[in-house]
Structures are given as structure tokens and as C-alpha cells.
Copies of this chain bind each other. A is one copy, B any other.
Amino acid sequence: MNAKIFTELLIKGDFKAVHSILDVMNVVDIALLLEELNEKELAIAFRLIPKDKAADVFSNMSNTMQTNLVEMFTEKELKEILDDLYMDDTVDLLEELPANLVTRILNAVDSSKRNSINLLLNYPEDSAGSIMTTEYVSLHQSMTVKEAMAHIKQVGIHKETIYTCYVLERRKLIGIVSAKDLMTMNDDTVISEIMETEIISATTHTDQEEVAQLFSKYGLLAIPILDTGGLMVGIVTVDDAMDVMVEEATEDITIMAAMNPSEKSYFETSVFSHAKNRIVWLLVLMLSASITGAIITRYEDAFSAIPLLVSFIPMLMDTGGNCGSQSSTLIIRGLALNEIRFRDIFKVIFKEFRIALIVSVVLAFANGLRIFLVYHDMKLAVVIGLSLIATVILSKLIGCVLPLAAKKVHLDPAIMAAPLITTLVDTCSIIIYFSIATQVFHLN
């Protein structure tokens, strides 16, 4: 749907057309369309959305638009939306709203829902508790399949998922039954006979990234969340896990480029916040690069005698930095995917050493040949070649060891990425280069 045509119909007052467009559109697409409208248009358009879709559209909109809508809703409209909104979406909404609107919402919901909301709001950010929903289907082990199906028919419509049902005994989770089992088994089968008792679960305080990894590792649709006492309190569904995965990958990538991650998208983040997120690391890295500079001054005599030496500094620094960040990137990603563990450190070092050997010899040969052909200076070719080999090997080793070390001391391995590695490798490569040069050219 074209936003311009839609707005024209809206302004023209052709509500019948608008309504029928909204009737056939997917809720996610409606949400994206409404993002393009101004406040006044939004107020009209939102009220033309078919009742059964309104809450779904609402939960797919951005926080700014949700706030606008809540401000403009009557008490009745607000109550209607909140009744249809799943618990996890309600909590997401409350986390972003200004205090006066939060109070308005808490007044509009009934007291049992208010208690659940307050509970969910208290879980730490990024924990399983903060993304779970309390709406799931619970069964009793003595039920037959037929009774279970009847129970689901009664309560299922208001649950976020009915495809995994939880068998509880005094709020303790004792088994899991999939809707597939219920739909394909005989009516008089008893739940306790078909329920799965090997249960993959998480607790309210499990990190959301770990929960998302359980989904992709085990191919699940929902994961039960237990409280610290082992009682079942909610579920996380696969769509939320996908959001977490995208979010966490973005966070890793941002940290790897030496920035503090932002929770908002590029355009939603203000210029000032962008600058703030970037400047700390730049200052730190600038300072450490200055150390490299200070080291260079120690070799003033060398490049005063042979000024050409200076011209190879960028090539050596860049190659070292690139080699180091190649290694660190693969290790950081491997750690994030649990393919590499700290105990593999010697296996990794040996592997990187052999890779570095092949890579460095090829690079040294290519560069040595170029230098020999351009400058006809065998000695210089040897100096650059040897410096390259030493730099590449050292930077690959630094690049693989640092992320593993960070993991060991419970730091985020992602900070050991290109920028930090580059700065460290710079210093090393400069020292190696000028040491070799002063030896070969007898400069001291």
C-alpha cells in the first residue's frame, strides 16, 4: 500500500475505502503504514482498523506512535486495547511511556493483570523474565487428550501460543505436550502417557541471549521460564527470541566497531547520543595510538638516515591491523555461537600460527618482489619481508588470544575487535620494523 494514496483517501474522508484497505492488510504492514502519518491522521486511521486487529497493529508500532495513541485514547478505547494486548507487549509499552501515562494504563487494567505487570516490570533488563509472557496453557497430567482439547478451546484464544502446553502439578512443571501430539493422538489417551519429561527451560534471571540460543539450538517454539524456586511463571515465544537474536547481533557488531550500543535504530538515535556513543572509545584509542607515535620518535635517527623507511609504516600498520582483526573477528563470532570455548585456546593458537605462517610468507614474497622491482634494493626488500612475517604472526596471535582472555575474565569478547587489536598491533609492528631495519642497515 502506498502511504501517499492512503493519506489522500483519509484526508478526502473516504473512510469506506480506508476501512476496506485496512481490512485486507497484514497487521505489521498497517503498523508501518501508520508510522508515516501525522498525529491527526493517525487518530482517524487507527479508529478505522477492524476491532480484532487493533491491538495487534498497536503492538507492532514504534514507541513514539504508541505514546501518541495512548495520549489520544479515551478510557474506553484504552481499556479495549489493553484487554487484547499480550502481557509481554503491555510491559514493553510501559517500559517506554512517560510516568503519567503509565499510571493511566495501570488504572485501566484489572487488578490481577496489574499484579502480573508489576512483577514483570521488576525483572532485570535483558533477562528472560523481562521478555516472557504469563499467558500460557497449563494442563493436568490426569486429563485425556479430549479433555485437554476442550480446555484449550475454552482458554486458548487469549494465549500467545497454544502449540506447547505445560503440565503442572502444584505450579511445578512436570511435563510438556505439543499441540501436534494432541491433534494426532487418540481422544482417550492420558496426558501423563504422552507428555515429554525432558524439558528445556530457563529461569527468570537467565540472560535473554542465552534463551535465544536455546531456541536455535533445539529448534523450539516456546521455552518455559521458572522462578528461583523452580515454579513455572511464564514462557518466551520464538518470535521474541528472533527479535533478541537480531538485537544481540547488532549489539555485538556495534561494540566490535568501538561504539557503545544504542537501543534505538540509527535514525531514532539523536546526533548527540551518536557522538556520545562513539567518542569514549575514540579518545581511548587515540591515546594508545599516541604511544605508538612516541615510540616512533625513538627511531628518529633511523628514518632521518633513510627517509624511505617512513613510507612503509602505513602498509605494515594496516596489514598487521587487518590480520589481527581477521583472527579476532572469527574467534569473537565463534565464542558467541558457542563453537569455540576457552579450553580450546591452545588448539586455536596452533591453528592461527599455521595460518599466519602461510599468509605472512605469501605477503612477504609479494611485497619483497614489488620493492625489489621498484627500488632495486635487496636489503630493503629483506627488511620489509621479515617485518611483515613477524607482524602478521604476532598480530594473528594477539587477535586470537585477547578475545579468549576477555571471555575467561567475563568481559565481552566483542571489545577485543578490530579497533583495539589494531592499536595494539601498531605498536608491536613499529618496534619490530625499526628493530629489524636498524640491524640490517647498521643504523646504531
Binding site for B on A (CB under 8 A): 24-26, 28, 149, 152-153, 156-157, 162-163, 179-180, 183-184, 197-198, 200, 215-219, 221, 238-239, 241-243, 245-246, 249-250, 252-254, 256-259, 265-267, 271-272, 274-275, 278-279, 281-283, 285-286, 289-290, 292-294, 296-297, 300, 303-304, 307-308, 310-315, 317-319, 321-323, 325-326, 329-331, 333-334, 337, 339-340, 344, 347-348, 351, 354-355, 358-359, 362-363, 366-367, 370, 418-419, 422-423, 426, 430
Q: Is the CB of A25 within 8 A of B297?
A: no
Chain A contact residues, majority secondary structure: helix
Seed contacts A267-B339, A293-B314; 16 additional CB < 8 Å A-B pairs: A179-B179, A179-B183, A216-B239, A250-B333, A272-B358, A275-B355, A278-B359, A279-B362, A286-B318, A286-B319, A290-B367, A293-B312, A303-B310, A304-B304, A321-B321, A422-B422
Query: A153-B183, A245-B245, A337-B250 are contacts. A238–B221 as well, Cβ < 8 Å?
Result: yes
Find chain B residues with CB under 8 A from A162 CB: 179-180, 183-184
Chain A to chain B contacts (Cβ below 8 Å), 21 pairs: A156-B180, A162-B179, A163-B180, A183-B183, A219-B242, A221-B221, A253-B329, A258-B326, A259-B326, A266-B330, A266-B334, A266-B348, A267-B340, A274-B351, A275-B355, A275-B359, A282-B322, A282-B363, A292-B318, A303-B310, A310-B310
Query: A317-B314, A318-B423 are contacts. A218–B293 as well, Cβ < 8 Å?
Result: no
What is the count of identical protomers in the complex?
Answer: 2
CA distance A329 to B339 in the complex (A): 24
The chain B residue sitting closest to A266, CB to CB, is B334
Question: A319: which of B28, B285, B310 is its contact (CB, 8 Å)?
Answer: B285
The chain B residue sitting closest to A339, CB to CB, is B265
Q: Is the CB of A358 within 8 A of B313?
A: no
CB of A87 to closest CB in B, whole Å: 16
Most chain B beta-carbon neighbours within 10 Å: one of A257, A285, A347: A257
Find chain B residues with CB under 8 A from A157 CB: 180, 184
Find chain B residues with CB under 8 A from A267 CB: 339-340, 344, 347, 351
Find chain B residues with CB under 8 A from A183 CB: 149, 152-153, 156, 162, 179, 183
CB of A427 to closest CB in B, whole Å: 8
CB of A317 to closest CB in B, whole Å: 6
The chain B residue sitting closest to A423, CB to CB, is B318
Find chain B residues with CB under 8 A from A163 CB: 163, 179-180, 221
Q: Is the CB of B314 within 8 A of A275?
A: no
CB of A109 to closest CB in B, whole Å: 23
